[in-house]
Structure 1
Amino acid sequence: MFDDLVDATTGTRGAGALSSWARVENAACAHRVATMAAMLDEAHAASGSADRDQWCLDNLDAVAAHIGAAQNITPGTASHQLLVAVALHDRFPRVAVVFAEGLITYALVKTVVHRGALVVDPDALRALDGLLGEAFGDWEPRSVDKTEKAIDFFVHQVDPQAVRRDETKARGRSVDVRIEEDGSGMATILATLFAHDAKAFEARLRNLAKTVCPADPRTADQLRADAIGAIGTDRLACLCGNDDCAAAQNPPATGVVVYVIASDETLAEPTETSDSEPPAPRPESPAPVPQTPAGDDAEESDASDQAAGDGLDPAPESAKTPPRRETRPAASAPHDERAAIDGEEPPLFDKPLRDLTLAEALTPAPGYFAKLRPGALMGGQFLPGAIACRATVGATITRIVHPGQAPPENRYRPSKKLADFVRCRDMTCRFPGCRVPATNCDVEHTIPWPHGPTAASNLKCVCRRHHLLKTFWGGENGWRERQLDDGTVIWTAPDGREFVTTPGSRLLFPELSRPTATVRTTGRPEAHAAGLTMPRRTTTRARDHADRIQRERKLNADVGLEFPE
């Protein structure tokens, strides 16, 4: 069937080709989903799989890890795709056939799986599958809301108590923090909260914004934004740069930190430089890590925050409002870059609009070359140099030392100095596709201790999920890995395919990936799980899922749900 769809695209062009290839794309996605379900079936058919269903990292988790590595996606995304695949092929075979023909999209399949999740009676489920399969044959385009209502109508026909009720706005309150992936070093926070809490939060922001002196260069909106970042403290750090400023003498401090990696040259005090001077060469010394007041993915630190440096130099007037249109691109001095993130937006043009020609108005202003070397969050997110400098305000600075060819440590648990280096080198979990920040990972031995040394070339960051995967789903027929002297890790999956992950710092801080001492093993390493026991669930995943469905169905029965006409 799939080959026939591909053949049908031959000789097509324009809208005809677009329609044909869209159908091929849907059919290919159906094959991918079917493969995921088949992988889980193979895991359940393996010897001892029934006992592993109560493992903390069960059969589904192990298959999801393989799916995530194969597609280079996060474990959460892989698990969600696998659950959709299983539900589709176990519960909606008629819909799966329509999907394989390329007539519906993966987005619609996900909606079917979600809206029909509460149907448990086999006869009702078969009826629903038949109704949907027949309807999708001539399914016209619908909005998301109309699609859900149409599917809910079919669900109501076969089982009224299985219609999923929308949560009220109060139950749907949440906070979503999204770190932008465009290299801007910014994040977006979307929050839905109680109205009275919103009023109190707004007042809190106003009060925090007033803790700086009038000479602070930031606008009111910038102060309110920075106040959100300082919500865990009692004041904002003043950036006026005046030596006699009382607000600047008492920087904020908190026990909650987030780790930022930056180089020495980025954090150096700004000095006046001319555009003709060549940029200073990058030092060979590893990068220090400023630890700044943080948000959700921060961890507790025993060290108290300290002021980093003497504050930022006040920007000259020309730096606060730099001209946007020049005859040639200008290279900004480091102190200009630090000041450019505060204050009013510079004018778009250097003369009134009425004096501009059409060509001048349509010609974009030349950019500025950044001289400050960028930094990064521990999770690998890019930070422009000016924002990395801002992170040092009120922060503790810890120097990271590259171990070079130093001999291994004669202990199981690495020293803080060695562990800090490994975390800064790796930045995230080293399993393929995993983005868990290194601060939330275990620093574990690639070759198990004591046969493998406690050295940088034998240590890597792995989150607890993938640490358990390697330990209990490893061995000759499971996940295996080997590590190179520069921190590269080569994973071998149960099917023999290899996946290579490199240290997260290699792009921005290549000096951290310089080779360390070669690993020398002693004796024959034991099996990964020798003497260890996998943590177990109190109930299986399937039992938990069935209990959640029964609770939601009972709620529908108690309130006497009626489907709207």
Structure 2
Amino acid sequence: MDGNGNAGVLEGLTSLGRERARAEAAELVAMLRFRDAELVRTAGIESPMVRLVERSAIALEIGQAMGLSEGQVTNRLAAAERLRERGPQTWLAFRRGDVDWARSREIASTLLLLQRPESHDRLDDTVVAYAATHTVAELRAWLKRFVARVEAEEAAQRAEAARRQRDVQVTHVDDAMAWVNAFVPSHQAAAIDARLRRTPRPDGDDRTRGQLRADAFVDLLLAEDTPTTGRARTDIGVVIDADVLVGAEPGPAVSDDGTWTVPAEWVLEHLDPDDTFFHRLLVDPITRDVLAHEYVGRFAPDVLATAISFRDGVCQAPGCLRPARDCDLDHREPHPRGPTKGSNLWALHRRHHTMKSHRTLRWILPSGRTVDAEPATHGVPHGNTSDVERALARGLTAE
């Protein structure tokens, strides 16, 4: 592989991505300017009815010019205006091409969830650095965790309100089949998924994995103990900050792969240990330290391997969301030089593990800079930008 030639191609792709993001920003800026100008113009119309009709046509006119529906225009304008007003630093990063519209839209949706102005500022201070170096799916999970930790009480209230809406619906469709849709708390859904994932396959069974899961699901609902499902205990990993566990602060329990959060007290409630066991990984709220025990051998004992899997959640290669439970446990610094302990172990998808072993695994950032392999960042970063930086960003977004 010609490293120099391919490096040039990657730099070109990075430049094209930034140009695309800037073009998306330019479109939205133009849409906002047109909308704002029309609002000013129609403000002088005396008849309320005529003024309402004129303003209702704004989204239609923009849509005709852009090839978008009125609904798409309305949603984009609302998200862009929210980002411009509540996240000025993110808005500037979007206009520079540091983050594209897909990521900016996710951030704008999160700004709508956050209720306190200081939470808006904290998100605006920290999110760009993460969004610029991670995929949309990773950013979406990061934002969920951010909301659950920064506004823990509000998030818990919304979760309780949503839990009151739990329901199961059965919809019969064609060919003698039906859909069973359940709206249940995330930690219970995760336990169900883990139970189905552990369903053993009898010898000679030619069912697909999906068929096996479906049959096990029916067995769980319609029978107590069956040869298909057994009564194997289900393990679920969640991370809870130490100050949350002792009740000093409200906060969430975050799943091992970071895709869902629930109020911490939900998983601290009594659960049948014969069915589901939640591994509650205690982490320092400042340093995020989880593991400190060191082992002499090359292979980690099961308890450490399980803890690493729950800690990392997913493969630590950037953009890879392969669950850590399906990954290799790799020494970041090769054994025996590198010790078998938490700080030197991480989950890597087999393909990325092979790439690392052949010294071809590199993290290529959106800026085009290539860095050595380091763990993907999970969780909410600490620290804020200065008030001066925030005020300057708000001033620059006024144009």
Same fold, TM-score > 0.5, yes or no: no
Superposition TM-score, scaled by structure 2 size: 0.37
- Which protein is richer in helix relative to its size? 2
Superposition TM-score, scaled by structure 1 size: 0.27
Larger Rg: 1
